[in-house]
Amino acid sequence: MRFKTCLKVNLSKLKENYLHLRELSPTNKILFVIKSNAYGHGIVPIVRFAVKELNIDSFGCASLGEAIFLRTSLPDLEFDLYVLSDFEFENKYNHQHLINKRIIPVISSIKSLKLILESSFCKHIPLCLKFDTGMSRLGIKLSELTETISLLKQHKKTTLFHIMSHFASSSSEITSSSAPYKQYERFKEIKKTLIENGFIIERSSIANSGAIEQKFALEETHIRPGLLLYGLSSLNKEFRLKQKTEQSWPGENISSLETHIIDFYKIKEGDAVGYGGPLAHKDGTLVYLAYGYGDGLLNLYNQLQVEHKGFVGKVIGRISMDMTALLFPTEAFEYLTVGEKIIIWDHSPSKILKIADTHNIIPYEILCGISDRVPRVYIIS
């Protein structure tokens, strides 16, 4: 565990993002996606705040383990909890958790649907079915719709608690000829067929952040935002550039990542720096940050730049497990002290998006990659 290197999570910003989201989609209910430790922000404080302060009543995590952990950590709070992909139903021991911890498994195959309908223990679980409308990831296939319907009828099921699907490419511009548009058409077709077959559908959802930002597929009862509520656009680089704005909405990154200087000194061109000793290509001030790959800063991030006191420092040499060297201009030396704070990204979404764009990754990966050694510190401003 570190002390001064930390991910500061400003919960007031989560509230502001939520209010912006309400403007984008005023009528939909929210199924807040909090998988992978709430995108690295810490699942328990995020869910507690979202339930108590934002009145969000539905959450989606990815695995049964995350769901059990969340329920056990927040036993007194009322909310619906979905497991979006990995509920490990083949292990019979897990069935009791689904019931005892009031967990809604998202059923994405006929195999799982059969197992659930045939389980004496789980047959009253609210049925949440996910359909594959063209992503070829998880989901009941269109060709299996007829079989699904007969299976449900055979088990005298007439109410579907939730039907959902997932977009493969909502981070690109959605037009009437694009893939999400076709996926949504198929989803509406599935819904229509189910209704014609006498099923009552209580909830439905398909829009994730990229779709919500483009106000697409908001006709369903629910939306399923993840990244957007944490304050970041999920639109891809090209689309953001085309729009000439970082964000199609005014949300802010709820986190800032802070570290500090462990040591700094002047070096000369040709000096060897760190493991393997690559040579400095120019004179400068070498600054060691208390932040390395053990904290999540993989060597993938070797183009990272940090602005500090009007100077720009660039990663030099190999990132170590516990520290990273930045090369600042020689003049910066006079302005630095050991222990002073360095901000890797702040609340402006452009900072973290730039890191993602520079390294050809997505902001999701950056957030999920922050390791356990980095404490999450919660503030309400």
Ligand X SMILES: *Cc1c(COP(=O)(O)O)cnc(C)c1O
Contact residues for ligand X, defined by CB under 6 A: 33, 35, 84, 166, 208-209, 224-228, 234
Q: Which residue is nearest to ligand X (CB)?
A: 226
The least distance separating ligand X from the CB of residue 261, rounded to whole angstroms, comes to 34
The least distance separating ligand X from the CB of residue 213, rounded to whole angstroms, comes to 9
| Residue from 310, 308, 314 nearest 278 by CA | 314
Pick the closer one to ligand X by CB: 134 or 225. 225
The least distance separating ligand X from the CB of residue 234, rounded to whole angstroms, comes to 5
Pick the closer one to ligand X by CB: 113 or 227. 227
Pick the closer one to ligand X by CB: 131 or 288. 131
Pick the closer one to ligand X by CB: 208 or 324. 208
Distance CA 7, CA 10 (A): 10
* Token pair for 197: 């077959």
Distance CA 359, CA 362 (A): 9
Distance CA 62, CA 262 (A): 37
The least distance separating ligand X from the CB of residue 281, rounded to whole angstroms, comes to 39
The least distance separating ligand X from the CB of residue 214, rounded to whole angstroms, comes to 12
Distance CA 355, CA 61 (A): 26
Pick the closer one to ligand X by CB: 212 or 336. 212
Max CA separation in the chain (angstroms): 78
The least distance separating ligand X from the CB of residue 231, rounded to whole angstroms, comes to 11
| Residue from 362, 365, 381 nearest 235 by CA | 362
User: Cα angle at 372 between 369 and 375, to 5 degrees?
Assistant: 110
Distance CA 133, CA 109 (A): 13
Cβ(103)–Cβ(80) below 8 Å: no
The least distance separating ligand X from the CB of residue 33, rounded to whole angstroms, comes to 4
What DSSP designation does 282 have? Answer: S
Pick the closer one to ligand X by CB: 82 or 301. 82
Pick the closer one to ligand X by CB: 167 or 288. 167
Distance CA 186, CA 200 (A): 18
Q: Which helix (H) or strand (E) holds 58?
A: strand 58-63
| Residue from 63, 68, 15, 11 nearest 36 by CA | 63
